[in-house]
A and B are shown apart, each in its own frame.
Chain A
Amino acid sequence: MNRREFLKKGCLLASSSLLAGGLSGDGWTKTIFKDYDPAKHFYGMGIDINKCIGCGRCMQACKTENDVPAEPYFFRTWVERYLIRTDKSVTVRTISLTRDDPAEFSVEKEMLRSFFVPKLCNQCDHPPCVQVCPVIATFKTPDGVTLVDEKRCIGCRYCIQACPYGARYLHPVTRVADKCTFCYHRLVKGLLPVCVEVCPKQARLFGDMKSFASPLGRFTRIHKMHVLKPSLNTDPKVYYANLDGEVN
């Protein structure tokens, strides 16, 4: 063995041991939470527009669970109220948490149709936010959730601009980007995301797309599915049933 060969092999050995120790599937399994294996899951959410009553319990619960600031313009999930009038004009407003909805917005006289649309991070399979992050602070986990590393994020707001769904905001206290994580800390413990947990009408459904028998599996079989902004090829994992064409 000459010196060149020795160095080559030495480098290979060092890097492969690093990879094997820290990055193998086993490494992920044991370290995230007890025996939780991200490779066995692939999460998605289903939303039935016909069931949503716009009570805003999901917004409130999300704020509590995830320490989202109380100001009414920071949301990880929010519910939009669509009002389509007979002259085809569309009004969209995020519902308030304080029940002070202006009365003029509940007029039936010139209403063609009206409904609520719950929104959140679509956990895209091809996420534009991950593409633009200059410091690799936002990334996709093997179970299909896009997370933000709050220690690495530099708060440059590129991802907030890049998200076609407006799902991100700059956290006013930590000064880093924040977004829905499908309540990742609950998923690893076998619990549902909190918005799904508290939804009184089961308008939100959650499940594992790798399992045929999950509630989401059934939901996607019996309904006609739609995703938001399909033309952008972001491949969202939040599926809407009975969605109106006016929603974007």
Chain B
Amino acid sequence: MKEFLKRFPEQVVRIVIVFVALAATLLVAWTFILPSEMKEPELQQLSSTIREAGKEIKYAGSEVCTGCHEKAHDVKKTGYHRDLSCEACHGAAQKHVDNPSEVKPASPKQRDQCSYCHTYNSSRPTGFPQINPDTHHARKPCITCHKPHDPKPPTTPRRCAACHAQIERTKVASYHGSLECTVCHKVPEKHKISPRSVTPTKPDKREFCAKCHDKASPRKGIAAVDIATHGEKYVCWQCHYPHTLGGI
């Protein structure tokens, strides 16, 4: 062996020894010390996915609630809040599911809980019931009149603005401000009870607007055109939106 090594210069032998030692350390580290996830991206991703899947659940999901709270579920399933998940109002309830007697979910009774959804906001889709919290029985908790699980209003709303506030607010500032909604829309009584399945009518003939706006029978102070030639093939409201300011 010594004879063999002597054939190389000493510095070469030394440097080879250093490199061999280094390689051995790396090999030991790689095989015994490094966890396998660090060597294989797929394994690392798998372990990360497992970690993600094991995270704590806070919202139990409304199906669990039905198991014990059948009564509330039965009341709710026919009312306007039928599609509303229990935890949307009562908050995260997994802890209550795990320990029903000691941890109770929130039961909000203040006005602000309802106002998240039901405060008037011009961006909300029309038809969604909205109120102005400052004028709608101010400071009275909503639950004095509306049962949250079956929030039918105590009296059927008389004014369309209960659900169509944005249209109402726009209309009062327009030339049509003094007209009732029912002048142009025929509203079946059933619309107030099942608003989506029974919808009001819209004027679908030019002659309808012509009753007021035709030159042939002019009324004082009302803009009039010759209905026979003015924009002939379009229904009036395709150009003139009847609710907006100025009616343009």
Contacts and interface: CB of A to CB of B under 8 A. Distances in A.
Interface of A: 18, 22-23, 27-28, 31-33, 36, 38, 50-57, 61, 64-65, 81-83, 99, 101, 106-109, 111, 114-116, 136, 139, 141, 147, 149-152, 181, 184-186, 188-189, 191-192, 194, 197-202
Contacts of A52: 125
B92 interface: yes
B88 A200 contact: yes
Interface string B45-71: 110111111111111011000000000
Contact of A50 (B83, B88, B125): B125
11 contacts: A22-B42, A27-B46, A33-B54, A38-B49, A82-B123, A99-B115, A99-B119, A107-B122, A149-B44, A188-B53, A201-B83
Contact of B40 (A22, A57, A197): A22
Interface of B: 36, 40-46, 48-59, 61-62, 83-85, 87-88, 91-92, 112, 115-117, 119-125, 128, 166, 169-170, 173, 245
Contacts of A152: 44, 48
A200 B56 contact: no
Contact of A18 (B40, B53, B166): B40
Given A51-B125, A141-B49, A185 B55 contact: yes
Given A53-B124, A99-B115, A65 B45 contact: no
Nearest to B83: A202
B88 A198 contact: yes
Contacts of A111: 122
B55 A108 contact: no
Contacts of A22: 36, 40, 42-43, 46
Contacts of B42: 22-23
Given A64-B92, A184-B52, A197 B59 contact: yes
A56 B85 contact: no
Given A151-B48, A197-B62, 20 more contacts: A18-B36, A31-B46, A32-B46, A36-B53, A38-B49, A53-B125, A54-B121, A56-B116, A61-B92, A83-B123, A108-B122, A109-B173, A147-B52, A150-B48, A152-B48, A184-B52, A188-B53, A191-B57, A194-B58, A201-B128
Contacts of B170: 108
A108 B112 CA distance: 24
A181 B48 CA distance: 12
B49 A99 contact: no
A36 B50 CA distance: 11
Which of B46, B59, B166 has the most chain A CB within a 10 Å cutoff? B59
A185 B56 contact: yes
A147 B49 CA distance: 8
Given A33-B53, A108-B170, A136 B41 contact: yes
Contact of B57 (A139, A151, A189, A198): A189
Given A22-B40, A31-B50, A184-B53, A65 B85 contact: no
Contacts of A36: 53
A121 to B, nearest CB: 14
B44 A136 contact: yes
A48 to B, nearest CB: 10
A99 B116 contact: yes
Given A31-B46, A33-B53, A61-B59, A200 B83 contact: yes
A65 B46 contact: no
B85 A106 contact: no
Contact of B117 (A83, A188, A200): A200
